[in-house]
Amino acid sequence: MRIHWVQFVVAGLAVCGVAYYLLCIWSTVAFWLKAGFKVSSSFAPAVSILKPVNGTDPGAYESFRTHCLQDYPEYEIIFGVGDLTDTAVPLIERLMREFPARKIKLVACPEILGMNRKVTNLMQMLPYASYDYLLVNDGDIRVPHDYLRRVMAPFAGEGVGMVTCLYRGIAAPTLGSRLEALGISTDFSAGVLTAGQIEGGIRFGLGSTLAFSRATLVSIGGLGPLVDYLADDYELGQRISALGLRVVLADVTVETLLPAYDFREFFVHQLRWARSTRDSRPRGYAGLLLTFGLPWAMLAALFAHGARWSWQLLVIALAARLLQALTVGVGELRDRQVLRDLILLPVRDVIAVAVWAASFAGHKVNWRGTYFILENGKLRPAA
């Protein structure tokens, strides 16, 4: 049977996508084989945890509380808010009452130093940090009791400049929230593991955890140069990597409780994320065209009018995608929501193609209800 050129192109893209799924599986297994940094009680440097917060996320108090329950000898927690009327302040004060022996500081950060309010807050929180090792994580992050030990362990090795870690999203009951969580566990995290394998290590950080020394931060010029960047976590990791230091992915996964996104909110959030990635890693982002194996296989079956070869390709793509999702989402991230929501995987992948295409249609992003123009990774107010 003669294959029309359109069918040939779409089928070729589907084959590339299947190859990518297999690469993700291989990268995850490779991470398992080399992960598991020996946690030594003899190496546990004092660390300052910096948590810039803006309002309250779902489950905020319990997320804050997990940082007070660490099995770690010496650390402090510094919360930074724009002003003391922030809705997170009563929760932080409650935390101080519950854990009077824990070193917890609350810092008001009234100055606006740039477009990225998180970095603005961090710059004003930094003088209050007592220790030489710093750990920044987002306000909505929830951590296990051995989090600090596992994050700090890699610093015992040579040439480590930053440690970061993967995360899983705990979905609210809405469809948008479930799609978001599914994407984090089966798409985003898979991409991080694969980048680490094919690039010989990752060269960026994830906002779930950014650990580094004060000396390393000074070496890259501090936080000031990042104050207008949207993807401050990416920029921080990239600049540390440029010093010739390694960015290490720790063998611990943290959690974030996702908002109850409706479908529109989910799409807007995905679009902001996509445009941020497009600006940070333009070549890699363009290459995502080759990773949408299942949607391309679905199109191949449609264009081929259900020809036998197209159905065979679709079955192969679906099997590879499911195996990839289970390997990364369940095997690595221990996210059992993936099992519940596997049926949504084709829907999520089709939406991912639409988001990828839409990301090239403009530079406007919505960040916490405010619109900005994103150019070359930097933010400026939308007109």
> Could you tell me what percentage of the chain is helix, strand and coil, using 3-state DSSP and rounding each to the nearest 5?
55, 20, 30
Residue 378 lies in a domain: no
Total Cβ atoms within 10 A of residue 195: 18
pLDDT bucket at 57, cuts 50 / 70 / 90: confident
pLDDT bucket at 40, cuts 50 / 70 / 90: low
Domain span at 42: 37-258
* pLDDT score recorded for residue 33: 86
pLDDT tens digit sequence for 265-278? 999 999 999 999 88
Q: Provide the edge-to-edge strand list for the sheet that holds 246-257.
A: 103-108, 75-81, 47-52, 133-136, 210-213, 160-170, 246-257, 141-142
Distance, CA of 83 to CA of 233 (rounded, Å) = 23
* pLDDT score recorded for residue 1: 46
In total, how many domains does the chain have?
1
pLDDT tens digit sequence for 286-331? 889 999 999 999 999 998 888 899 999 999 999 999 999 999 999 9
Mean of the per-residue pLDDT values for the chain? 93
Question: Longest C-alpha distance within the chain, in Å?
Answer: 76
Residue 52 lies in a domain: yes
* pLDDT score recorded for residue 279: 86
Length of the chain as a residue count: 383
Residue 282, SS3 per DSSP: helix
Residues in Cβ contact with 102 at an 8 Å cutoff, skipping those fewer than 6 apart? 68, 77
Residue 50 lies in a domain: yes
Q: How far is CA 181 from CA 116, 177, 201, in A?
A: 25, 6, 25
Residue 383 lies in a domain: no
pLDDT bucket at 39, cuts 50 / 70 / 90: low
Averaged pLDDT for residues 233-252: 95
Residues in Cβ contact with 117 at an 8 Å cutoff, skipping those fewer than 6 apart? 52, 54, 82
Distance, CA of 273 to CA of 290 (rounded, Å) = 19
Of 217, 42, 47, 245, residue with least CA distance to 158: 245
* Residue 177 pLDDT > 70: yes
Quick one: DSSP state of residue 209? B
Residue 289 lies in a domain: no
Strands (E), 23-154: 47-52, 75-81, 103-108, 133-136, 141-142
Residue 57 lies in a domain: yes
* pLDDT score recorded for residue 2: 52
Distance, CA of 183 to CA of 169 (rounded, Å) = 9
- Weakest-pLDDT range from 41-50, 125-134, 328-337, 340-349: 41-50
Total Cβ atoms within 10 A of residue 215: 10
* Residue 173 pLDDT > 90: yes
Distance, CA of 21 to CA of 147 (rounded, Å) = 29
Residue 192 lies in a domain: yes
Averaged pLDDT for residues 145-167: 95
Residue 328 lies in a domain: no
Give the domain CATH number at 157. 3.90.550.10
Distance, CA of 145 to CA of 101 (rounded, Å) = 17
* pLDDT score recorded for residue 41: 57
Model pTM score: 0.92
Rg (CA), the chain: 21
Distance, CA of 332 to CA of 251 (rounded, Å) = 9
Distance, CA of 76 to CA of 74 (rounded, Å) = 7
Angle ∠(310,313,318) on CA atoms, nearest 5:
125
